[in-house]
Amino acid sequence: MGLYDKLSEIEETAKKKQVEAKPKAKRPKERQGKLRQPYGRTESTSVRTDTLLQSVPSMPEKRRPERYAFQFWADQITRLKKLKQVLNITTDPEAREEMSLSDMVREAVDEYIDKQMKQLKHSERTEG
């Protein structure tokens, strides 16, 4: 038995162990009568925003940054960079605080979330 045969045997043994070590796929548990939360749709299939809005968490007191990749349009990045330059030029030079692209995007996302929540709450009141 040569070196190649020994390596092949070791490789086959390792593959068998990997197959044996794989956990079996878990099957979802059967529903036990009731859902924990209502599905959020009425008989006419319109969205019940009151139920859905409750699932959106409020802004926490303390926040931590989290790195997350998003795709933006190229023109949005260009415009943000130019706006950042303008904002940083017009700020007080002694303040030494520069606006970053991250700051700008986080602020815009907060405003977007608030705007959407207000619109949904308003539409909820006018529909019901």
pLDDT in tens, 65-103: 999 999 999 999 999 999 999 988 887 777 778 889 999
HSE-CB at 39 with a 13 A cutoff on CA atoms is 6
Helix (H) or strand (E) holding 122: helix 101-127
Mean pLDDT of the chain: 78
Write the burial class of residue 124 (CB in 10 Å: 0-12 exposed, 13-18 middle, 19+ buried).
middle
Alpha helices in 31-100 (DSSP H): 49-54, 74-90
Tokens of 45: 């299939």
Write the burial class of residue 126 (CB in 10 Å: 0-12 exposed, 13-18 middle, 19+ buried).
exposed
pLDDT of residue 45: 47
Lowest mean pLDDT among 101-105, 114-118, 124-128: 124-128
